Amino acid sequence: MKTLIKKAALCGAIALTAGVSVVAQAADTIKVGVLHSLSGTMAISETTLKDTVLMMIEEQNKKGGLLGKQLEAVVVDPASNWPLFAEKTRELMEKADVDVIFGCWTSVSRKSVLPVIEELNGLLFYPVQYEGEESSKNVFYTGAAPNQQAIPAVDYLMNEVGVKRWVLAGTDYVYPRTTNKILEAYLKSKGVSDADIMINYTPFGHSDWQTIVSDVKKFGSAGKKAAVVSTINGDANVPFYKELGNQGISAEDIPVVAFSVGEEELSGFDTTPLVGHLAAWNYFMSAESDINDEFIDAWVEFTGDEDRVTNDPMEATYIGFKMWAEAVEKAGTTDVDTVRAAMYGITVPNLTGGYAVMNTNHHLTKPVLIGEITADGQFDIVWATKGGVIGDAWTDHLKESAKLVADWTAPISCGNYNISTGVCSGQNY
């Protein structure tokens, strides 16, 4: 029953800095909010996404803008401070009067923004993999849900690598904890025992990995093939991978599959000891397609740096921006409710040579890829789904979520509709 309903839900720069200095601009522009950390622990990942939005705005303006108007970027820095994300969102909407916001990385930042964006009926495009268990009418999720990243990655390790013991290592916040809750339930459904699952959490910015990596090494020496499933986020990844190298843990010994490490994160340090470790994403810079070549060329030209890399959240930003622009043109307005309705069913080329589709649960259909780290900091794609995977707002692997679906079109018009009771729980998500 849930599957049938899910199928039915398919598609049929001004800166406001810490002091908030708003520069008077011409009223006849479409304002685009950019809500990414440019300082603090998440700047290593989010600064690139700010630049991606600015590039997309520049390209759109060269084409004549939207609805005969130029686009105007309004950039803020929430500084990796989760409550500040909510404050900056309110500033973007109430003071800068933006028409749309592209932003957030961590789920805790998105959760901080959610009440504000819903209260003020804004529109947020969220471009990063996340834990699912959510569908807000005011958010379009262009990053991966667990069934588009975490579950396929575990299946790959289990079926292709023969992994029997599992280390679930994450940063201590909602995304890793919820994702690991889903993965633990999934692993147990596959017959994995409690003794063969090790779970560990560390704070943002954690730097002393010696003891933890030593524990991982010991866990992996019990005679069964072990692997690390990593939801470690931000700049803590640098010392984590360095410590793996220091303790001589190679991909052949204990492979690591990461959900938050891409080309941008790897560009900051020597990847030689990391060759063969894995990441699961929906895009890699090494994907062979004409549109990817064009995107990389445009990125290098925009940044003026031929060494700047591309990554999955950039593609998710690209897809979200393209869809929003098409929906605005289709709707003939930037009005949030009208644009939202126009989003459903929009299909745009992704950068791997296929197409992304926006479904009525506010999640995309897109492919899943597994890549191995190479010595030059890139990824060799070693596995991919044959086609697109529909993003699932609510996982089938948790009892409390298995009966929930999201569909923002009539007659359901709900982000968490219970197919057993016929009741829409909560407000919007």
Confidence of residue 371 (pLDDT cuts 50, 70, 90): very high
The structure tokens listed for 308 are 């700047």
List helix spans (H) across 91-173: 107-119, 150-156
- What are the C-alpha distances in Å from 84 to residues 130, 214, 231? 20, 36, 23
Domain-embedded: residue 294: yes
Choose the weakest-confidence range: 3-7, 171-175, 316-320, 393-397: 3-7
Predicted local distance difference test score (pLDDT) of residue 237:
87
Distance (Å, rounded) from C-alpha 425 to C-alpha 429?
A: 8
Task: Encode pLDDT of 142-185 as tens digits.
Answer: 999 999 999 999 999 999 999 999 999 999 999 999 999 999 99
Predicted local distance difference test score (pLDDT) of residue 428:
44
Distance (Å, rounded) from C-alpha 115 to C-alpha 129?
A: 20
Taking Cα atoms as reference points, which of 193, 200, 243 lies closest to residue 222? 193
Confidence of residue 18 (pLDDT cuts 50, 70, 90): very low
pLDDT surpassing 90 at residue 271: no
Please, are residues 104 and 307 in contact by the beta-carbon 8 Å criterion? no
The structure tokens listed for 14 are 């001004």
Domain-embedded: residue 352: yes
Domain-embedded: residue 298: yes
Q: State which residues form the domain around 76.
A: 2-144+290-364
Mean residue pLDDT of the chain comes to 92
Please, are residues 243 and 209 in contact by the beta-carbon 8 Å criterion? yes
Record the pTM. Answer: 0.91
What end-to-end distance do the CA atoms of the chain give, in Å? Answer: 21
Predicted local distance difference test score (pLDDT) of residue 246:
92
Domain-embedded: residue 81: yes
The structure tokens listed for 77 are 């820095």
Choose the weakest-confidence range: 17-26, 361-370, 392-401: 17-26
Taking Cα atoms as reference points, which of 260, 223, 226, 225 lies closest to residue 241? 260
Domain-embedded: residue 173: no
Predicted local distance difference test score (pLDDT) of residue 27:
59
Predicted local distance difference test score (pLDDT) of residue 162:
97
Predicted local distance difference test score (pLDDT) of residue 273:
77
Domain-embedded: residue 193: no
Domain-embedded: residue 402: no
Domain-embedded: residue 345: yes
For position 73, which CATH number holds?
3.40.50.2300
pLDDT surpassing 50 at residue 308: yes
Predicted local distance difference test score (pLDDT) of residue 26:
43
Which of 237 and 19 is assigned the larger pLDDT?
237
Task: Encode pLDDT of 221-265 as tens digits.
Answer: 999 999 999 999 888 888 999 899 899 999 999 999 999 889 988
Distance (Å, rounded) from C-alpha 48 to C-alpha 310?
A: 9
- Taking only Cα atoms into account, the Rg of the chain, rounded to an integer number of angstroms, comes to 21
pLDDT surpassing 50 at residue 427: no
The count of structural domains within the chain is 1
pLDDT surpassing 80 at residue 426: no
